A = this chain, B = another copy of it.
Amino acid sequence: MARKTGSHSDITGPRVRAAALKLFAAHGFAAVSMRQIAAEVGVQAGALYLYTPDKQSLLFDLLRDHMQEVLDAWEAEEKPEGPVAQLETFSRFHIRFHLERPEKVFISYMELRNLEPDNFEALGQMRRQYENALEGILKRGQDEGLFDVDDTKLTTLALISMLNGVTSWYKPDGRLSLARVESIYSDMAGKAVRMPRWKERQRKLEAKQAAE
């Protein structure tokens, strides 16, 4: 018995990806079998190969599509003027976007090592592109004397690590609302890099003295 009513490629295809995402996130790529994925979809294992050439592609497609989504979404995000406001926008965007897709984020940072070298490299490039968006903000802020950052590359990674951490404990029905979490994190990020007022005053003072 094949081809049940209304069961088409357009339906099964997405369901395969959804099942793979769910199971990879829960148990890890290596620990999930094609038969488990098939069972989740309600199909035999052989049928999966109508929708993916192999297991590895199933993982890679999920990761690549996710990263593309992140990049597109950040591209589309309305950006305010000035590094300080932009950093807040980035922090809030990152938290919100990632909390809305916890499983994709999870596998994106967990399963990279299960990718074959070529696929790994492709993903790494996309990730670096995203990191550069944040580093650009930090650099501009530093040039304008608004941020006090020792090393922009390192700080970028530190901030992203911090923001990513949210996915490992946040529960939608937990103690804190999404809006609250957004605020707290973007606050911490801002404070971690902002030029302290006393340092700014000192800088101006020194500039004055040097001019005399």
Which residues of chain B come closer than 8 Å to A166, judged between CB atoms? 157-158, 161
Residue in B164, B189, B197 whose CB lies within 8 Å of A198: B197
**A154 close to B184 (CB less than 8 A):** yes
State the interface size on chain A (CB cutoff 8 A): 39
Which residues of chain B come closer than 8 Å to A155, judged between CB atoms? 184, 188
> Which residues A121-141 have CB closer than 8 A to chain B?
none
Assess whether A31 is interfacial by the CB under 8 Å rule. Answer: yes
Interface centre among A161, A168, A193 (most CB of B within 10 A): A161
Which 9 pairs, one residue from A and one from B, show the smallest C-beta to C-beta distance?
A161-B165, A162-B162, A30-B31, A30-B30, A192-B192, A188-B192, A150-B184, A161-B162, A191-B192
Residue in B113, B160, B187 whose CB lies within 8 Å of A150: B187
Which residues of chain B come closer than 8 Å to A194, judged between CB atoms? 191
How close is A114's CB to chain B, nearest CB, in angstroms?
7
Which residues of chain B come closer than 8 Å to A120, judged between CB atoms? none
